[in-house]
Amino acid sequence: MNSAQSSEKWAPRKKISRPLQPGNRLPRNGLAGRSHQRVSKSREGHGSRTRFPYVMQCCTLLGLAFMEKGQPGIAAIWYERALRTPGNDPESMLALRYDLGVAQETAGELDAALKSFSQVYAMNIDYRDVAERIAALQKPTR
């Protein structure tokens, strides 16, 4: 093997980019709008007949981004979409339902938040601070 063949063999290959990678970084930088565009384009790129494998993760990231942006109502919509994703494991469902409850509570949807937290409590009574959140939501307002 001559040096030309050797250098071709070890030449850097074209970097394969994953459509989700840019969307992963954007919510952390406070750019929910651009993240939403990237995720939508990524999903469209897979076509309507192909199951998009990162739906739950994308929806969760968008929920986090909108919470950070101060839009908990929109975040709740994204958490609900993540919950409707088929094939979620029980631990992910628990975390998503809890995050949904936080978003609903922050948005002032107290009855919906109580329902979400109650579902978490039914699955795991020791999950984070769910018992305290339920107690606070059940207190009569003065």
pLDDT bin (cut points 50, 70, 90) of residue 54 is: confident
Residue 39 is encoded by which pair of tokens? 């995720």
Residue 108 is encoded by which pair of tokens? 């002032």
Q: What per-residue confidence (pLDDT) applies to 55?
A: 87
DSSP annotation string for 62-120: HHHHHHHTT-HHHHHHHHHHHHTSTT--HHHHHHHHHHHHHHHHHTT-HHHHHHHHHHH
Angle made by CA atoms 70, 76, 79, in degrees to the nearest 5: 120
In the chain the domains, ranked by start, together with CATH numbers, are: 19-138 (1.25.40.10)
Question: Which DSSP letter does residue 49 get?
Answer: S
pLDDT (tens digit per residue) in 90-139: 999 999 999 999 999 999 999 999 999 999 999 999 999 999 999 999 99
